[in-house]
Structure 1
Amino acid sequence: MDQTQNRVVCLIPHYNNPQGLVRSLASFGRDEQVDVLVVDDGSTRAPVDERAAREAFVAQGALRFLHLPQNRGIEHALNSGLSWIEARGYELIARLDCGDTNVPDRFARQVAYLDVHPKVMLLGGAASMVDQTGTEQFVLCHPTAHAAITRAMRRNSAFIHPAVMFRSAALARTGHYPLDAPAAEDYALFWSFVLHFEVANLPDVLIHYELDPGGISLSKRQRQIKSRLALQWQHKDASAAAWLGMARSALMLALPYQLVFKLKSQLRRGKGA
């Protein structure tokens, strides 16, 4: 490990979204001790603006870029980033997506928790779900303790992908993001963490997650739900939660995404009222 680098590196995949990347990088608090690796997945229409990105990033760390020669999809971009990170000996790996933003002390909170709980290998948190104007629609929280997370995983992922931090040493057991779960690579990887290690979520809001009800294509959404169903079947048990989770996913295949988005937003706002 380079003695000048931080313990933590944040992995951000990028594809034709330089403005979102700048917005994300600007959200890193000035006192945060974190390096950042941006993996550009073969952008051609709107490549990374490295100058603007460096001007936006003011945390106590290094900002580096890995440019892939062609677009192969987020799973390959993330795995290229993990290989780069492992080769350099980082202890902790965090995630963020272009357009999403951190609360100012997000990384310090997660590191502090992991230092006190050395057996926890994967740590997530809550997210403020905002529309494209930045207005909060609802707060998404998941169970915080391992047993409750395991139960919730039978329904859907119990982690918000861009809010997680995990120990790089765990990858020797879990492997990288699977390539056989299209659009659900995070759910698949998190199942490996849940099965092999102790995991947790903070109740705190760690990120602002930008919702875009028109941003996911029908074909990608269908691939995602089919991958989720396959993972739910693979990890099913005799519990009602497992079978209800699969039934819910099957129903989601038949419903328009805009309707699902609207219903979820209304239900979650109601719970928070």
Structure 2
Amino acid sequence: MTLTAVDTPPHCLEDVAVLMPAYNGQADVDLTLASFNESALVHVLIVDDGSTPPIVAPTLANLQIEVLRMPQNGGIERALQTGIDALAQRGFRYAARIDAGDRSVPQRLAKQRAYMEAHPQVAGLGMWTQVVTRAGKPLFMLTPPAEPAAIRRLRFFRSCLAHPSMMLRIDAVRAVGNYRATYPSAEDLDLFVRLMERHDCANLPELGLYYELNEGGISATRRRRQVLSTLRLQLRYFNVANPYDWFGLAKNLLHLVTPYRALQRVKRSLLAPRASH
């Protein structure tokens, strides 16, 4: 099934498409897409990054799904770049990111689109994120700042934009060079920094995504590569007048020498909700 975007009233989602790269994990794909609950038809583009067997589009009410198959596994950076270009060719204005295994909250797409229509200077819009185990048990909430100025200031000190929660303005993404593999496993931060040179990025300060903490995911299995790419980005865009750039540099150097599981334990202990007394 081929996706096509047309001009529609503001309450519809005809110019929005969910962009989900996938490599194997059919069950996770099905779970994620089943979580979308919107008042309008939801368009979805799955970029199958060389899965074996190939990803199959599930049949779900109120979703129109296309699978774009890559000839071989080329990595998430290439899959996302291909997906953005494909959505632009189909006439979509907004790409709503999500990863297989994560779940959307009801009306997420409508809320994000309404905000971006009202704020044309915003090229990327995230939402607060509940981090959960693969079994769905809540671990901690990610509640980054909402305002563009705070996000710019803290961009290298903390994760201000949860990639799978983002809605992106497709023309802006392509104008700054699209996703790229220059900073492996940190393709999201690389894109956000380039977007913020010309536009704003913001967050809706409400829950928009349930993010599955997958010990086999990129953050775990390619962690050293991710931290090194982040450090390279920090040095490339370092602002000596911003104290949070210095704090972020020190933080990522610490991440480079600290075991992944130890960092996760610290994060859970700091961010997990405290029981009331």
User: Could you tell me the TM-score, scaled by structure 1's length?
Assistant: 0.92
User: Which residue matches 1:189?
Assistant: 191
User: Which residue matches 1:220?
Assistant: 222
Which of 232, 257, 261 is matched with 1:258 structurally? 261
Report the structure, 1 or 2, having the larger helix content: 1
Which of 121, 126, 129 is matched with 2:128 structurally? 126
Query: Shift of residue 2 of structure 1?
Result: 4.3
Q: Percent identical across equivalent pairs?
A: 37
Distance 1:191 1:97, change over 3 A: same
Query: Shift of residue 157 of structure 1?
Result: 3.8
Distance 1:272 1:34, change over 3 A: farther
Deviations 1:106-144 (A, max 9, x none): 101101111222221111111011111101111101110
Counterpart AA for 2:191: L
Q: Does 1:31 align with 2:33?
A: no
User: Which residue matches 1:245?
Assistant: 248
Query: Shift of residue 257 of structure 1?
Result: 0.5
Distance 1:36 1:272, change over 3 A: farther
> What secondary structure does 2:84 align onto?
helix
Q: Does 1:47 align with 2:54?
A: yes
> What secondary structure does 1:64 align onto?
strand
> What secondary structure does 2:140 align onto?
strand
User: Which residue matches 1:9?
Assistant: 17
Query: Shift of residue 149 of structure 1?
Result: 0.3
User: Which residue matches 1:90?
Assistant: 92
Counterpart AA for 1:260: L
User: Which residue matches 2:10?
Assistant: none
**Cα RMSD (Å) of the superposition?**
1.9
Q: Does 1:179 align with 2:207?
A: no
Q: Trace 1:65-144 onto structure 2 (pairs within 5 A).
A: 65-144=67-146
Alpha carbons 1:213, 1:258 under 8 Å: kept? no
Deviations 1:164-214 (A, max 9, x none): 001112124212112110000000000011111022101111010001245
User: Could you tell me the TM-score, scaled by structure 2's length?
Assistant: 0.91
Alpha carbons 1:7, 1:90 under 8 Å: kept? yes
Counterpart AA for 1:40: D
Unmatched segments (≥5 aa) in structure 1: none
Q: Take 2:239 and 2:56, find their aligned partners in 1: how far apart are those partners?
A: 48
Runs of 4+ in 1 over 4 A off after TM superposition: 214-219, 270-273
Unmatched segments (≥5 aa) in structure 2: 8-12
